[in-house]
Amino acid sequence: MSRRVIVVGGGASGLTAAAAAAKHGAEVLLLERLPRVGKKLLLTGNGRCNLGHADADFLHYHGSLPQAEQILARFDTERFFSAMGLYTRTDTEGRMYPLSNTAASVLDALRFAADCAGVKTVCGMQLTGLRQQDRSWQLCCGEQFFSADAVILAAGGSAAPNCGTDGNLLPMLRNMGYTIHRPQPALCPVPTDPAQVKALKGLRVRAAATALLDGTALQTETGEVQFTENALSGICIFNLSRLAAQHGSRLQISLNLLPDSGLHETDTLLRDLLRLRGTLPASDLLTGLLPKRVAEAVLKRCGIRCSESAEAVSAEDICRLSKTLHSLCFPVKGTAAFSQAQVTAGGVAGDCVTKQLESKTHSGLFFCGELLDLDGDCGGYNLMWSWASGCIAGAAAAEEKP
C-alpha cells in the first residue's frame, strides 16, 4: 500500500510538495483553507511571478536554516519548470519569469503537475489540530478529521494575511515544542517620520540606501527609492526592511543621492553650479541633479532657505550640502504591517528540522516554504525556496520508513 501523505496549504511550496510526494508514489491529499489554491502566487511579481534568480548565492537568504544552502544549491529552477512544460526567461538583472509573463500560468503548471500525479485537493479546509497516534497522524479541520502516515506543513508565513497566511499554525506548533523565531514583516516599506517624507510623496530617486545601526553601516542596497506619505519604499528599501523590523528605532536609513560620485567630486560640482547659478534662487542650485521637491528638502535640511539668492550660500553651506547629498538620513519609526509585507522573517527554527526538512521530534512531520525561518531578498529568492523546499519535503515524506 502506498504511503498516505497530507499536505497542509495550497500555496507555492504546498503544491510543489504535493506533486513531488505523489510522483514518489504516495497517495496525496492537499488541504487548503481558502476556496482556491495559489491565491498569493497570482499576485507575485506584480502578476508576472518572479519565480527565481540566476544568482543563487546563499548570501541572499536570511534566517536560521543552514540546511537550506545545500537544498538550494542542488535545485535547478529552470529545469524544475521546463519538466512541467513551463519555460522561463531571465532578465538582464538575473530575475527569472515565465515565458508567458503571467503568474497565472505558473499556478496552472503547478496545478496540472499535481493533478497529473494524482493529488487530490480539498479547498475550504483549515487545519486546526494535529496529533500523532502510534505511527500515524490525525488531522482535525473543524468538524472534519483525516489521517495520514506523513504530514507536510506548507501553511506559509504571516505576510499578506488576505492570502490565507496569518501564522495560524504557530501557536499549535509552539505547544508541540517547536521553537518559533518571532515572525516579522520583511520585503516591505520602512516607516519613517511623516514630517520628513510627506512633501516628497510619490517621488522616486536613484540612491544607495544604507541601514545604519547606532551609526554603523550594516547593509547597503542601490536602486530606486520611492517616497510615500510616511515611509521609504522601493526594492532596495524592501531589502533593508528586515533590519528595520529587527532593530526598530535604533536603525536609520541613510540615502546617498549621488551614489556615482565621491564627496570631493560633489563638492567641486556644487561650487561649479554656484558659479553658474549665483544670481538664481537657492532652490535652483540642484536643478538637474534631483527632482525639485527632493532638492528643496535637502536644502532645507542644510538650513539653506530656498527663496534666498544662491549667492548667499556660503562655503560651509556647500560643504554641509555635499555631505547631506551623500547621507540624507531618515529615522525608522515603527514597523510596517504584515499586510504591506511580501514575506515573513522568522518562523519554525532551523534546528527543529533535519536536512530533509522532517521534524527532529516527530517522525513523519515535514515543513516547507515560508513557515520555516528562512527569507530571501527581493528578486525571486522566496519562490525559489518554496519550490526547492517543497521538492525535498515531498520526496522525503513519500519514502517508506522501515
Ligand X SMILES: Cc1cc2nc3c(=O)[nH]c(=O)nc-3n(C[C@H](O)[C@H](O)[C@H](O)COP(=O)(O)OP(=O)(O)OC[C@H]3O[C@@H](n4cnc5c(N)ncnc54)[C@H](O)[C@@H]3O)c2cc1C
Q: State the Cα–Cα distance between residues 272 and 54, nearest whole angstrom.
A: 43
Residue 110 or 274: the one with the smaller Cβ distance to ligand X is 110
Which positions lie near ligand X, rule CB under 6 A?
A: 8-14, 31-34, 39-40, 43-45, 49-50, 126-127, 154-156, 159-160, 163-165, 168-169, 342-343, 369-371, 380-383, 386
What's the closest the beta carbon of residue 103 comes to ligand X, in angstroms?
8
What's the closest the beta carbon of residue 163 comes to ligand X, in angstroms?
6
Cβ-proximal residue to ligand X, closest one: 11
Residue 42 or 280: the one with the smaller Cβ distance to ligand X is 42
What's the closest the beta carbon of residue 160 comes to ligand X, in angstroms?
4
What's the closest the beta carbon of residue 94 comes to ligand X, in angstroms?
13
Residue 122 or 306: the one with the smaller Cβ distance to ligand X is 122
What's the closest the beta carbon of residue 116 comes to ligand X, in angstroms?
20
Residue 233 or 342: the one with the smaller Cβ distance to ligand X is 342
Residue 18 or 289: the one with the smaller Cβ distance to ligand X is 18
What's the closest the beta carbon of residue 162 comes to ligand X, in angstroms?
9
Strand ranges (E), 66-135: 88-90, 95-98, 120-123, 129-133
Residue 49 or 68: the one with the smaller Cβ distance to ligand X is 49
